[in-house]
Amino acid sequence: MRAEEPRVGEAFYHVRVKPGEISRYVLLPGDPERVPLIAELWDEAWEVSSHREFRLWNGRVNGKLISACSTGIGSASASIAVEELARAGADTFIRVGSTGAIQPHIDIGDLVISSAAIRLEGASMDYAPPEYPAAASYEVLLALIEAAEFLNVRYHVGVTATTDSFYLGQGRRGFRGYVRSGVKELLNDLRAMGVLNFDMETSAIYTIASIYGLRAGSICAVFANRVRDEFGVAGERDAAKVAVEAVKILQEWDELKARWGKRFFHPSLLRPRI
């Protein structure tokens, strides 16, 4: 086994899949328990591997292969998943997660589609300097918006702040009320910038995907509103539905691009040609 790219047999060490064993379209929930919940929305599904926080299932929607792989909590493990899944053949990633809103108009159970993310985590810093943008692929972003509109769910589109720490990193107090000066104004500063929400994976996924010429998007269900001090588990299934529908849309657009020999999707590809 080469230490440069560790494997178990032919399978990559962490996600435990071989090259060519997964779909090019991979949904990335954090929670391993969310993978079978997502798979319930597919026409058929089966587990491929489960190792540490990485639980991976394959399935089919409209006769086409789709995959889902959990990433655990945080950008460090998410970066491992993207690295190994890309080596296995994936080129399109959609994070399907939960989030805390920091704008008062966003309700529990709403969905947030991230157009870009502020890189307040460390994993992406190993890939690019802080000035490098963490932006969604416009094709995946548009597919998520189209899917949310089709499914008639309540959603918001904007910038996410991705952090390594759930507590102080997101403006919460630590154990016994510990807080340091920079944390105190974080929430207010981000709100003033128009940032919609906190999460712990999006910016790393976006940065790595962009560097490698891959596509990435992110949709999260709002479990908390930090401004209103509200918490509730809601919207998880809606986020999964939108992500699966977005994959169907991307499959259609990718087929259109191939048919017309185009590298990028643009709306006129949907018009009938004379």
Average pLDDT over residues 136-163: 98
Given a cut of 80, whether residue 87 has pLDDT beyond it is yes
Given a cut of 90, whether residue 140 has pLDDT beyond it is yes
Which domains, and CATH codes, for the chain? Answer: 7-164+196-264 (3.40.50.1580)
Can you tell me the distance from the alpha carbon of 248 to that of 260, in angstroms, rounded to the nearest whole number?
19
* Whether the Cβ atoms of residue 113 and residue 213 lie closer than 8 Å to each other: no
Given a cut of 90, whether residue 68 has pLDDT beyond it is yes
**The pLDDT of residue 151:** 98
**The pLDDT of residue 184:** 79
Q: Poorest-confidence range of 2-16, 81-95, 122-136?
A: 2-16
Given a cut of 80, whether residue 127 has pLDDT beyond it is yes
**The pLDDT of residue 274:** 52
Q: What percent of the chain has pLDDT over 70?
A: 99
Q: Which residue has the tokens 């990193």?
A: 169
> Band of the pLDDT at 1, cuts 50, 70, 90?
low
> Band of the pLDDT at 82, cuts 50, 70, 90?
very high
Can you tell me the distance from the alpha carbon of 179 to that of 128, in angstroms, rounded to the nearest whole number?
29
Using one digit for the tens of pLDDT, what is the confidence trace for 176-210?
999 988 887 999 999 999 999 999 999 999 999 99
